[in-house]
Amino acid sequence: MKFDTPAGRNPIDQLKVVGRPHDRIDGKLKTTGTAPYAYEQHDVVANQAYGYIVGAAIAKGRINAIDLAEAKAAPGVIAIVTADNAGKLIKGDFNTAMLLGGPEIQHYHQTVALVVAETFEQARAAAHLVRVDYARGKGRFDLAAELKVAPLTGGDSGEGSKAPPVDRVGDFEGAFASAPVTLDARYTTPDHSHAMMEPHASLAVWEGDKLTLWTSNQMIAWGKGDVAKTLGIPKDKVRLISPYIGGGFGGKLFVRTDAIMAALGAKAAGRPVKVTLQRPLMINNTTHRPATMQRIRIGATKAGKITAIAHESGSGDLPGGGPETAVSQTKLMYAGANRLTSMRLAVLDLPEGNAMRAPGEAPGLMALEIAMDEMAEKLGMDPVAFRIANDTQVDPEKPARRFSQRQLIKCLEMGADKFGWSARSATPGTRREGQWLIGLGVAAGFRNNLLMKSAARVGVDRKGIVTVTTDMTDIGTGSYTIIAQTAAEMMGVTLDQVVVKLGDSDSPASAGSGGQWGANNSTAGVYAACVKLRDLIAQKLGYNAADVAFADGKVGSGNRSIALGEAVGDAGLTVEDAIEYGDLGKKYQQSTFAGHFVEVAVNAYTGETRIRRMLAVCAAGRILNPKSARSQVIGAMTMGAGAALMEELAVDKRFGFFVNHDLASYEVPVHADIPHQEVIFLDEVDPISSPMKAKGVGELGLCGVGAAIANAIYNATGVRVRDYPITLDKHLDKLPVMT
């Protein structure tokens, strides 16, 4: 199905099943521990062996020699794989570094060996007997130092966040110099880890020359292609299966070393091998969100209209990598005739930087939305009013291109009303409750809507059971449920009459999970297949497809009606189709918006920050399942709290690795850190987006949250911290004196 004209009224608009807060149909499996994740596929194949990965102990250099004698002689050892015996490997399209190092080492904890043994414990013990002689090389580990000589570099996150090396509209320098009120400030965000609950894990099985991988991967079609390319085998000889994923956040968009090493280990051992990355290796061995150093300049009239805005950012990555596109949202967020964005990319020898939930916008808004608050204070304006005054309904760089929907003002106004913004003290550091300093903060949220081709197979059997098959994945976001809702709505059956099969590369290729594009595109693909199936059924019955109705398990037209199962016959009917998009995405700017509000309390004596309550008001098209969507948003808000207050990968600039590479020292928020979270979805549909009229909320719930917290801390204390995370050591000595 080609979607190239705005959606009119269609069966989804009935909202009998779609748009309702259904429980997740996979919830029972998740809560009882019976959903089989990649490492838990114990019964799919017999005689499984265990692999344990050895990571490089240097960040840059070469391997002189590897002594495997002790390891090979250890109890239970079946095989050991290194670059010496792995055969030729080709770097995949989505990897920056090789997934097996040697003799060259590109980053710390890069895989250098896999030990395969009868038990996990035996593999682990033998792995510690692998002796590697390294020649350490000189590496580049200091972002600030390397950015001084880094070139201007454009980039594209692949998730709708992109920018050229330099982008100019009008005369920024002239407008900024002549503006009566200006701001010129610098901000930093550190390296972040995905820290997902489920580690990267895979089980590999060879049947002749065909490889089957049960793996934890968000993008099955991408993964299948990269596994084939890396191993140098045809794509039709690779099958990826990933029915359940215990969190990804972008860290599982691409094939990682566990999958490739499991495949190599199984080939060497001549039997199935399962591999999981031990937690300490996940942070340095896989990907992370790169640190940024950002400069924002804003010029405005005394009345508060922005006349000049510039956002410059620098980040680093391995050779061949790309920048963190932190300036992207600034190209679209606020009005202003004179504009400048630029990005620099430093070459670093730290582990690979790549997509982490909302690449680009997440760290970019952490800076931009503080700058907007700082500018509002200079102007003597309320921060909400300043943002509203500079809203735009068109792309500021291309005024002829309108937003398909843009309700940022409503998000901010409704949020301010619901949150009690009018009670906020405009003078920082003045509201106190005992030893606690209380503050309110706001930030705007923004995330682009990305359209991707997505296919599905839909069938109906003689009992009227609808089965949907697609390689779409569920990373804990509720894909099973919204896909079932879509099929139920389209085919006129109840949710319990739908079977959903996900995460198998032998199924039609979907959009996959990531960048908040998954829900809208995957359900649109199911919609397309259902339309085709409905037409086929109508044709089979001799009904007019234009006025046929699918409801209550029946197919009707005029005064004629027949049960759905009877309509398809004993053999049933199955069709396959995909949603493919025209140029509506070029004609209209498609984005999602939010207003984030936060209340914090900062202890005047210890400097510790406590989040008291959070509110997100989201405009994101049709909400397919308010219950699971709310879960996505509050999870994203929690991730934003972590980025604002505690998350930071500490770089050892001598030896080039992240020191705190475990969950004991890389701190993330827990339930007790945020007592109250509220989410409001605006009643919005976007017919420009898809037949579902939906968009996405997964990243939107994160974008802007960190700055809202930072702004609340400033309102509480009067101390402005521009370097994340905002730990107590950065403001303790500047806090107001308690009397």
Instruction: State the catalytic residues.
Output: 699
In contact, 370 and 187? CB cutoff 8 Å: yes
Q: Strand 162-163 relative to strand 61-67: parallel, antiparallel, unpaired?
A: unpaired
- Nearest Cα residue to 601 out of 714, 716, 715: 716
Residue 726 to residue 705: CA distance in whole angstroms: 13
Residue 490 to residue 11: CA distance in whole angstroms: 6
> How is residue 181 written in tokens?
């009120």
Residue 136 to residue 130: CA distance in whole angstroms: 18
Beta bridge partners of 54: 113
Residue 578 to residue 691: CA distance in whole angstroms: 12
* CA angle (544, 547, 553) in 5-degree steps: 100
Q: In this structure, what are the phi and psi dihedrals at residue 579, rounded to the nearest 5 degrees? A: -90, 130
Q: Per 3-state DSSP, what percentage of the chain is helix, strand, and coil (rounded to 5)? A: 30, 30, 45
CA distances from 424 to 14, 419, 438, 641, 739 (A): 42, 10, 9, 21, 22
579 CA to centre of own chain: 22
Q: Roughly how many angstroms between the first and final C-alpha of the chain, as a whole number?
A: 69
Quick check: helix, strand or coil at residue 229?
helix
- Nearest Cα residue to 334 out of 264, 265, 263, 412: 412
